Amino acid sequence: MQLSVTLLALFAAAVSSTAVPRASSKCHTPGSKYKGYMATFPGGFVGMFERTNVDISFITTVDPSKWVAVGLNKSKQVTYGAGDPLFKVEFQECPKVPGDAPDVKWYKGRIIVSGTNNCVTVSNPNGSQPYFLEIKKCGDDTIPPASQQWEWGNDFGDVVFWRGKSKEDEIGYTIDDQSNPVTESGTHRIELGCDQSCASFGIVPKSKLN
């Protein structure tokens, strides 16, 4: 009888370990909420995080139809206002990146182009502001390179930032005094940087785009 109970216990333990796999340490998309188009919110949005060189605040203008997606030119550079094709992305949580806190929905990770092994990448991560974005092959799928490390947080709404050179900077796109995205003259490449003022990206479904 004792032998039968022991065998039953071992069998149950084996089934349990098979049925409940360990959580993956690789980057993965947490759910459908984290899929959509990488977008800006010209003019502001309640819950959007705005940062200046002296303050952190909310933008108070509300217009839920004003999400404007960034585009991708033929050189795989991310643009704004140029009429370039849109592209779908997914934010992926990378559990091994230090600071990841999924219990409060504050994720560290990367942004991939849906259906590919390509990532939204800062092209000049070691340079000075402004920074620019391009699409390049993803690096390590456990701890991405600094140029491909992003944050998703919900303290100020569902916001997305590049982590920056120090991986603690939370850098968004540069905005002018009307809270509109700033672009490079002649190329329409969207500029990133918070030396003056910046705002967060969002990842939103097509139904929310202007």
Q: What is the pLDDT of residue 7?
A: 38
Look-up of token digits 């391009």: 134
Provide the phi-psi class of 55: left if phi over 0, else alpha when psi is between -120 and 50, else beta: beta
Cβ contact 160:203 at 8 Å: yes
CA 84 from chain centre, in angstroms, equals: 20
- Tokens 């991560």 locate to 125
pLDDT at 153: 83
- List the helix and strand counts (H, then E) for the chain: 1, 15
Q: Calculate the alpha carbon distances from 38 to 1, 74, 89, 102 in Å.
A: 63, 18, 7, 21
pLDDT of amino acid 105: 75
Using one digit for the tens of pLDDT, what is the confidence trace for 38-52? 999 887 643 444 555
Judge residue 69's burial from the number of C-beta atoms within 10 Å of its C-beta, 0-12 exposed, 13-18 middle, 19 or more buried: buried
Name the stretches of the chain with pLDDT < 50: 1-22, 45-49, 54, 56-62
Cα–Cα distance for residue pair 6/144, rounded to 1 Å: 45
Q: What is the pLDDT of residue 98?
A: 86
**What is the predicted pLDDT for the residue at 154?**
67
User: The tokens of 59 are what?
Assistant: 């933008």
**Could you tell me the sign of the dihedral formed by the alpha carbons of 171, 177, 181, 186, in that order?**
negative
Residue 17 has a pLDDT of: 36
